[in-house]
Structure 1
Amino acid sequence: MINMTLLSVFIPTFLFVSITPGLCMTLSMTLGISLGVRRTLWMMWGEMLGVALVATSAVLGVAAILLGMPQLLVAFKWLGGAYLCYVGLQMWQSKGKLAIPAAGTVIEVSRRQLFWQGFLTAVSNPKGWAFHMALLPPFIDAKLPFWPQLAVLMCIILLLEFGCLLLYASGGKALRLIFAQEHNVRLLNRIAGSLMLLVGVWLALS
């Protein structure tokens, strides 16, 4: 069903790529700071759906078509980047739904909003498209059935991605616990807001 020699190279390769700081990992850490790990899971589900779409499209050749129409990806990048920068500015000013509130206050942000935030960040990153198109197809053995191989590789990619997202979100939660005292809420909002701004600018200019 799958070439075990290729698989032995595939796992460490994609683990290294997943754990390297990037757009989605920075976003996960930022939301881990402001919302905690449990609520950040909704962003993770959307992000993993986006990664699955990008990876599958890369193998099927759809990525080549999209990369041949850069105006479509540019529109996604700038819209997504502008939104994330807007959210980051609000967080920096301790405003908006994602800003960390005073002690005892519950943050109101919808699961749908978090889900789509993760999904759009994943699918609007042109580096993600280029990376999957370059790295994933070589791990498909032409001598073996295509769909079973793709299913196994996709499961591994998503497991690795989920584990790394949890790691980054947990790091954000740890920061929140360190700075959780009321007089440090503004500082923590500025840290999270700055990270969100970084993600937005990174997305727009990538």
Structure 2
Amino acid sequence: MLDFVNFTLLAVFIPTFFVVSITPGMCMTLSLSMGMSIGLKKTFYMMYGELIGVGLVATASVIGVATIMLKYPSIFLVLKYGGGAYLFYLGIQMWLSRGKMALSLDECNYNVSKKSLAIQGFITAIANPKGWAFFIALLPPFIDDKLPMTSQLIVLIFMILVLEFSCLIIYATGGKTLRKLLQNSSNVRLINKVAGILMMGIGIWLASS
């Protein structure tokens, strides 16, 4: 008998979280921007960092760590403002067709560090207080107090990561498609400007959230 998770609640949770996840947000916009500027393959490294951050936030929200952190918002300040400023700086560089993430005419824009991409995704995921508040509100209703907490948490977080990853791929693929449609000698700068605007918007969004 499978008594480690409530499948009725899980059946409701999956479409609920998919709708929430597919809705444009900071992480999805970041995936779209990177898909456009550096392509789908390199964007995977940002996704890995983002998924680690999402898993951490979801776990901490369930066990109550988030409640403590939300009482001390100063914990987020360095991540919020520092991360936001860095993303805004990257956006400016991309707008100017400079930096390692800007698309160049010869497409030799693959020097950006895999580690830095993963860190960007991780910081974007954990530095948004709204994300913490969202998980605090969303997860408890889908946990059955009559069943083991650990097994339920594992299943829910696994589903969250699968759905989040799927949505990130959808957005990054959309960015890659836009890149292909626009990419020629006269539109490379336009790709950089669009991706740069998105990146600057994410930076402002993160800092002001």
Fold match, TM over 0.5? yes
From 41, 55, 73, the counterpart of 1:38 = 41
Residue 73 of structure 2 is aligned to residue 70 of structure 1? yes
Query: 4+ runs of 1 displaced by more than 2 Å?
Result: 103-107
Alpha carbons 2:35, 2:176 under 8 Å: kept: yes
Residue 182 of structure 2 is aligned to residue 188 of structure 1? no
Mapping 1:21-100, distance limit 5 Å: 21-100=24-103
SS of alignment partner, residue 112 of structure 1: helix
Which residue in the other structure is 1:178 paired with?
181
Residue 110 of structure 2 is aligned to residue 107 of structure 1? yes
Alpha carbons 2:62, 2:139 under 8 Å: kept: yes
Shift of 1:176: 0.3
Gaps in structure 2 of 5+ consecutive residues: none
SS of alignment partner, residue 106 of structure 2: coil
Shift of 1:94: 0.4
The CA distance in 2 between the partners of 1:45 and 1:193, in whole Å, is: 22
From 19, 24, 30, the counterpart of 1:16 = 19
Q: What TM-score comes out, normalization by structure 2 length?
A: 0.97
Residue 120 of structure 2 is aligned to residue 117 of structure 1? yes
Gaps in structure 1 of 5+ consecutive residues: none
Alpha carbons 1:90, 1:99 under 8 Å: kept: yes
CA deviation map 1:104-137 (0-9, x unaligned): 4243101101011100110001110000011112
Alpha carbons 1:94, 1:186 under 8 Å: kept: yes
1:54 is aligned with what amino acid? V
Residue 133 of structure 2 is aligned to residue 130 of structure 1? yes
> How many pairs are equivalent?
206
The CA distance in 1 between the partners of 2:140 and 2:107, in whole Å, is: 50
Shift of 1:183: 1.1
From 156, 163, 166, the counterpart of 2:166 = 163
Q: What TM-score comes out, normalization by structure 1 length?
A: 0.98
**Identity among equivalent pairs (%):** 56
Alpha carbons 1:100, 1:107 under 8 Å: kept: no
1:43 is aligned with what amino acid? M
